[in-house]
Amino acid sequence: MESIGVLLMCPMYSYLEQELQSRFNLFKLWQQPPSKITEFLKSNQRTIKAVVSNARVGVDAQLIDSLPNLEIVASFSVGFDKIDLKRCEEKGIRVTNTPDVLTDDVADLGIALILAVLRKICPCDGFVRSGKWKDGDFGLSTKFSSKPVGIVGLGRIGSAIAKRAQAFGCSISYHSRTQKPLKPYKYYDNIVDLAKNCSILVVACSLTDETRHIVNREVIDALGPRGILINVGRGAHVDEPELVSALLEGRLAGAGLDVYEDEPEVPEPLLRLDNVVLLPHVGSDTVETCNAMADLVLANLEAHFNSRPLPTPVI
């Protein structure tokens, strides 16, 4: 394996980097000066047979075209919306991701965001630290248990969020492309109707052309001034300027966001709102899960180069 060239797109979890380094001929793209990247790719194009990407960086058609011996793209992420799947398919390049191992963490964080927004965890923490508690009580927040929760996308992560929210006594409904006959939750074929009928809307679907900006002004207005929006999917699921104006105008009660349209940029007005909880895209970032994701990336590469079936193929 030491002779197989693997191109790592950006700095990643150190354990993964070390293991790739010890098993393959590892190239680190970000260590090349931008003006030298074309030359670097040209001089190593014969050796590089695999690319390791992640949710933030992906792999575009230009890079794929510049690596004629590329056989596999292994993403250190469950989402593959930044990988040009069409180009990979055209060229017979395999693509893998890291599903299942991160489901619990992302679902846990979804629930944490709901609780943080409704129970005002961050402002409460600030209240204690600033010493304001000595001047009086904090005030009231909003109950989570038994609230109606609407989930956009009832895949692995959406289902795990549903299960957790059920344990809080919440009624669960969902919107997805097709109804899931085995799921005991109310289905809406229209996201606006889902938003009208819940007070917590959680986005947990994958990003596709159909789900880009699926949460638009109409959906936000259907959720209404007592509703909150939670996004653990992708920033581009939400029309961000519409979300910002709804929050500023009081047309939405709050939001808990782990993802943004233009990461790491976060719309500036959100930084001043205390009914919004902002996380830096850390849904799966626990030691346990990152170890498991790294092992899955390595297992996919090893399987591919030993002509075994891929553990978690996308294509």
Shorter beta-carbon distance to ligand O=CC(=O)O: residue 221 or 295: 295
Number of residues that bind ligand O=CC(=O)O (CB under 6 A): 7
Interacting stretch for ligand O=CC(=O)O, rule CB under 6 A, among 77-85, 121-129, 166-174, 177-185? 77-85
Per the residue annotation, which of 94, 234, 237, 304 is the catalytic one? 234
Taking residues 2 to 41 in sequence order and writing x for each that binds ligand O=CC(=O)O by CB under 6 A, - otherwise, the string is ----------------------------------------
- 88-117 binders of ligand O=CC(=O)O (CB under 6 A): 102
Residue 207: Cβ within 10 Å count = 21
281 is an active site residue:
yes
170: left (phi over 0), alpha (psi -120 to 50) or beta: beta
Residue 83 or 195 having the CB closest to ligand O=CC(=O)O: 83
User: Which is nearer to ligand O=CC(=O)O, 170 or 204 (by Cβ)?
Assistant: 204
Is 53 a residue that touches ligand O=CC(=O)O (CB under 6 A)?
Answer: no
The β-bridge partners of 95 are 73
Annotation says 234 is catalytic? yes
CB of residue 36 to ligand O=CC(=O)O, shortest distance in Å: 30
Q: Does 78 contact ligand O=CC(=O)O by CB under 6 A?
A: yes
> From start to end of the chain, where are the E strands?
5-8, 25-28, 48-54, 72-76, 94-96, 149-152, 172-175, 186-188, 200-203, 228-231, 254-257, 276-278
Please enumerate, as own/partner, the contacts of 98-102 that have beta carbons within 8 Å and a separation of 24 or more. 98/292, 98/293, 98/296, 98/297, 98/312, 99/156, 99/312, 100/156, 100/312, 101/289, 101/292, 101/293, 101/296, 102/78, 102/283, 102/284, 102/289, 102/292, 102/293
* Among 17, 19, 71, 263, the one annotated catalytic: 263
Helix axes 14-23, 287-305, angle to 10 degrees: 20
- Specify the stretch interacting with ligand O=CC(=O)O by CB under 6 A; choose among 36-44, 74-82, 134-142, 164-172: 74-82
**190, 219 Cβ separation under 8 angstroms:** no
Give catalytic residue positions. Answer: 234, 263, 281
Query: Site residues (CB under 6 A) for ligand O=CC(=O)O?
Result: 55, 77-79, 102, 283-284
